[in-house]
Amino acid sequence: MKRILVFFILYSITLHPQLSVSEKLIVLQNDAIVNGNFKIAVQVEAGNLPGSKTLASATIDVQIDTAKLSYINAANWGLSASDGYSRTANLVNSKIRIGILGTLVNGNGDGTPGGIDIVSPFATWVELNFKIKDISGTTALSIDPFTNAVAIFNNAHNNPSTGGISNILNLSIKNIGDQPLPVELSSFSGKIKNSNVILSWITQTEVDNYGFDIERKNNTKDGSWEKIGFVRGNGNSNSVKNYSFIDKYPMGGSKFEYRLAQIDNDKTTKISNTLEITIAPAEYELFQNYPNPFNPSTTIRYSVPVESKIQIKIYNTLGQEIKTLVDNISNPGNYEYILNGSTLASGVYLYTFSGQSINNPSTFKFVKKMILLK
C-alpha cells in the first residue's frame, strides 16, 4: 500500500485518485570518464488535472548508485522563491531528496506570488549534477515510488487561500535505465614497421561498444582529421580486449597524429587522447607506379628523407620531356602523385625522380618505366 506524505499539516487535504501527473528522469550529460560530469534532469508533466494545476508541494527521491556517482549539487531550478517556493535537494543515504514547498504562494493575498502550474509537455523542475567515480559496468537511476508525493492547491494560484490542497495518487514515473559508463581505454600506442603505422589499444571493460573509428591528421597539410578505418567493438565485456589497426604507408609528410573515436550502439561518440607518430624515410626512393599498365590513372609514390628540392618528370622513349609532375621543396616524408593520362597517347613512358638535399650539394636521380594502354 502506497504511503501518502503530507506537507501542509495545517491545510485541509482532499484525495483525488483521478488526478494524474507524470514524472521522468533524462540524462543531459555523460562524460563517461572517471571524474567526468554526469547530469540529469527531473521533469514533470500534467496528466489529468481538470481544475487547478498550481503546485503546492512535492517530494521526489531520486535513487542513485553512490559507488558510481558522487552528488555535487542541484541547479537550474524551474521554480524559485519569487514563485513562492522553498526548494532543497540533499543527499540522504543513496537518494537525492528533492523537497518543494509552496508556503508563500499567494503570500500577498492578491494572487502573488502565483506559483507555477504543472503543465504539458514535460517541464524541467531541477537539474542534478554528479561526478563519475567508477566507469565499470552500468548505473541506473530511478524515482522511489514509495516516497514520491505531489500535491496541488485546490484553487489556482492558491487564490483565494483556503488552505486546501489535493494529493495526487496517480503518479506515472519513467526512470532512467542502465546507463553505460562505458569503454575503459587503458592504453593507446603506435609503432612503425616498413613505413606502415601499426596502432594498438587495450580496453579493460566495455559497455554498449559498437566500435572505433580510426582518425588521422597530417601535421604538414591542412591539419584536419580524416577517418581512415573502423574496427568493430566487443559490445559488452568485463575482460581485457586487444585491438590493432595498420595504416599502410601514410602519405603527405613525416608527422602524423592519430586518435580513436569510440562509438556506442546509440551512436554516441567519445574521442581518445592523441598519439603522434613521426615517419622518417631512411633514403630517397622511387616506387613502381600502380596499376601498371594503366588507363587512364596511376599512382606514383616516392620517399624524401630530408628537406630537398625535387622534380618528377615524364619522358617518351625518345627521351623527350612530356610533362613535369612535381617541382618543389619537399619536407621529409612519404608522398604520392596521381597521374591522369587521359591526354596522353598509348605507349611506353619513363618517369624520373630527381633532386638534391637543401643542406647537401649531392644529387640523386631514379628512373622507372610505365605503360599506358587505352
| Assigned CATH for 184-278 | 2.60.40.10
Q: What CATH class does 12-180 carry?
A: mainly beta
Residue 93, all three cell numbers: 543515504
What fold characterizes domain 285-372? Immunoglobulin-like (2.60.40)
Q: Which one, of 25, 18, 13, 45, lies nearest residue 151 by Cα?
A: 13
> Which tens digit of pLDDT belongs to each residue from 135-169?
766 677 888 888 888 888 988 888 887 666 666 65
Average pLDDT, the chain: 85
Residue 70, all three cell numbers: 558522487
> Which tens digit of pLDDT belongs to each residue from 17-70?
467 788 888 888 887 778 888 889 999 988 777 788 899 999 999 999 898 899
- Measured CA to CA, the distance from residue 88 to residue 118 in angstroms comes to 19
Q: Work out whether strand 164-174 and strand 241-247 pair parallel, antiparallel, or are unpaired.
A: unpaired
| Distance between start and end Cα atoms, the chain | 86
Residue 18, all three cell numbers: 483521478
Matching residue, cell 527531473: 42
Q: Could you check whether 12-180 and 285-372 share the same CATH topology?
A: yes
Residue 50, all three cell numbers: 481538470
- CB 6 within 8 Å of CB 59: no
- Measured CA to CA, the distance from residue 173 to residue 22 in angstroms comes to 6
- Residue ranges for the chain with pLDDT beneath 70: 1-18, 136-138, 162-182, 220-222
**DSSP state, residue 287:** P
User: Domain ranges in the chain?
Assistant: 12-180, 184-278, 285-372
The verdict on whether omega for the bond into residue 121 sits within 30 degrees of 0, i.e. cis, is yes
- Measured CA to CA, the distance from residue 77 to residue 168 in angstroms comes to 22
Q: DSSP 3-state helix, strand, coil percentages of the chain (rounded to 5)?
A: 0, 60, 35
Residue 124, all three cell numbers: 524541467
